[in-house]
Copies of this chain bind each other. A is one copy, B any other.
C-alpha cells in the first residue's frame, strides 16, 4: 500500500536541519518553549530524539537556532525594504512597514521571538542580543545620517525607543486584527518621527 514511499527517510544533513527548524519553530510557537518536549518535536519530524541533539546540542540550542533564523530573516527583510528609500523619514517608514508585514505573515516566528527570555546561557543571550543590536544600529545610523551633530548616546536611545514601540505595538496588533501593518506604521511614525523631527527641523528640512 505504500505508493512511492510516503515520506522519505535519510535526508541530507542540511535539509534535515532546516526541516527540524521548521517544525521546532511551529511547536515552540504553539505550545511555548517550556511546555514543548524534545520527544514531541522528534516525533513530528519523523526522527528520533538523539538526532536533534546531534544537530543542535540541546533544547536551548534548538530554540536559539530557531530564533537566530527568524531574527536574521526579519533583519534581511527590513534591510531590503530600506534600500532605495528616499531620505530618513522614508527609510524609517519603509522599515517599519516591512517589520509589521513580516510579523503579520510569520506569526509563529514572531511568537517564537517572545520566547527569547527563556534563554539562560549567557553566550547565547549575547548572540541573540547581537542580532537585535544590528537592528537598533541600523536605526541609529538613520538618525545619525539625518543629524550629524546628535549625541551618539541619544541616537542609541532613540533607536531603542523605536524598537521598543514597534515590538510592543506588534503585540498589541494581535489583539486588534482591525489594525493592519499600514495603520501600525502610521501610529509609530506619528509619535516617533514627529518626536524626532520636531526636535531637529527648526534649522534643517529644506
Contacts and interface: CB of A to CB of B under 8 A. Distances in A.
A165 to B, nearest CB: 4
A26 B195 CA distance: 38
The binding surface of chain A is classed by DSSP as helix
Interface in A147-174: 153-154, 156-158, 160-161, 163-169, 171-172
A120 interface: yes
A187 B156 CA distance: 10
A38 B194 CA distance: 49
Contacts of A72: none
A169 B179 contact: no
A118 interface: yes
A193 B195 CA distance: 7
Contacts of A115: 117
A117 B191 CA distance: 27
A164 B160 CA distance: 10
A171 B120 CA distance: 16
Contact of A117 (B116, B161, B164, B198): B116
A192 B196 CA distance: 9
A160 B172 contact: yes
